[in-house]
């Protein structure tokens, strides 16, 4: 398999889920004692969150471009950004990496198309929900996105940053997120996207009345597809 370089730490809680699922996925596909060939760069989330809060996406993009370049210099042949929000600097990572960087929104859009759903209720950080990250990218697939507003958006963001990123999972917060998603479904959404990698810690397919698209699991699948696709003769010779 190709070596996957992981840009993680945002948060380390979700990065741990990526690490587990990537290794489980390789074991399922290849059998025996196979595990994932990984390089992990786990950043200090406090530094990243401060720049997010300041709205300095230029600095974040420059930082992630450097990190991507370092992963490739260390041998990464595929790079994964282990956070929905940080896909806002996907172009910078692609520029720094020069190798495949599977996009989490493409993975979600592909799964949505396969399920036949059309209107996605998006739960995520306020940066993700307020940006064009999902709407612009899924539009090419004929999909639309609806997001929480007002108090619902604020509560969703709070639960992610103040609880899930710290490993705290509360039943009352799960109920709150179910209500937020339920209101979007009542307004016409036919599926719910867990558009923050931490949300899979608290919501699952049985928690909502419509199909649930877990961005973490779908992105893991995309990364494994890129890492395990057949190599060309040239690649085998260079390995």
Are residues 12 and 44 in contact, defined by beta-carbon separation less than 8 angstroms?
Answer: no
Residue 123's closest CA among 81, 181, 170? 181
**Structural fold of domain 4-103+219-238:** Rossmann fold (3.40.50)
Residue ranges per domain, the chain?
4-103+219-238, 105-215
End-to-end CA distance of the chain: 11
User: DSSP labels for 48-71?
Assistant: HHHHHHHT-HHHHHHHHHHHHHHH
Q: Considering the domain 105-215, what is its CATH architecture? A: 3-Layer(aba) Sandwich (3.40)
Q: Output the pLDDT for position 230.
A: 75
Q: Are 12 and 87 in contact (CB under 8 A)?
A: no
122 within 8 A of 147, measured Cβ to Cβ: yes
User: How far apart, in whole angstroms, are the C-alpha atoms of residue 2 and residue 226?
Assistant: 8
Same fold, 4-103+219-238 and 105-215: yes
143 CB-side CA count, 13 A = 30
Q: Is 72 helix (H, G, I), strand (E, B) or coil?
A: helix
How far apart (Å, rounded) are the C-alpha atoms in residues 15 and 8? 6
What's CA 157's distance to the chain center, in Å?
16
pLDDT score at 103: 97
Whole-model pTM?
Answer: 0.92
Q: What pLDDT, on a 0 to 100 scale, did the predictor assign at position 233?
A: 36
CA distance linking residue 157 with residue 163, whole number of Å: 10
195 vs 128: CA distance, rounded Å: 8
Copy the structure tokens of residue 79: 């790079």
Residues paired with 194 in a beta bridge: 123, 214
CA dihedral 172, 178, 179, 182 (to 10 degrees): -170
Per-residue pLDDT tens listing for the chain (239 residues): 899 999 999 999 989 999 999 999 999 999 999 999 999 999 999 999 999 999 999 999 999 999 999 999 999 999 999 999 999 999 999 999 999 999 999 999 999 999 999 999 999 999 999 999 999 999 999 999 999 999 999 999 999 999 999 999 999 999 999 999 999 999 999 999 999 999 999 999 999 999 999 999 999 999 999 999 875 433 444 43
The pLDDT score that the predictor gives to residue 235 is: 45
């Amino acid at each position: 398999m190709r070596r996957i370089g992981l840009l993680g730490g945002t948060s380390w809680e979700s990065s741990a889920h990526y690490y587990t699922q990537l290794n489980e996925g390789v074991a399922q596909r290849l059998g025996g004692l196979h595990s994932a060939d990984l390089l992990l760069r786990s950043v200090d989330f406090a530094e990243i969150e401060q720049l997010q809060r300041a709205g300095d996406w230029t600095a974040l993009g420059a930082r992630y471009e450097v990190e991507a370049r370092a992963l490739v210099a260390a041998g990464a042949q595929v790079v994964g950004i282990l956070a929905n929000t940080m896909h806002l600097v996907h172009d910078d990572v692609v520029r720094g990496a020069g190798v495949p960087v599977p996009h989490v929104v493409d993975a979600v859009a592909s799964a949505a198309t396969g399920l036949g759903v059309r209107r996605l209720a998006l739960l995520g950080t306020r940066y993700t929900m307020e940006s064009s990250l999902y709407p612009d990218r899924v539009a090419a697939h004929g999909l639309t996105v609806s997001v929480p507003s007002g108090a619902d958006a604020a509560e969703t963001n709070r639960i992610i940053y103040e609880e899930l990123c710290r490993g705290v999972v509360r039943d009352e917060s799960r109920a709150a997120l179910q209500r937020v998603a339920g209101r979007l479904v009542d307004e016409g959404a036919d599926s719910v996207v867990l558009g923050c990698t931490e949300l899979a810690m608290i919501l699952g397919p049985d928690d909502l009345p419509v199909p649930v698209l877990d961005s973490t699991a779908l992105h893991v699948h995309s990364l494994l597809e890129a890492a395990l696709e057949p190599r060309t003769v040239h690649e085998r010779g260079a390995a």
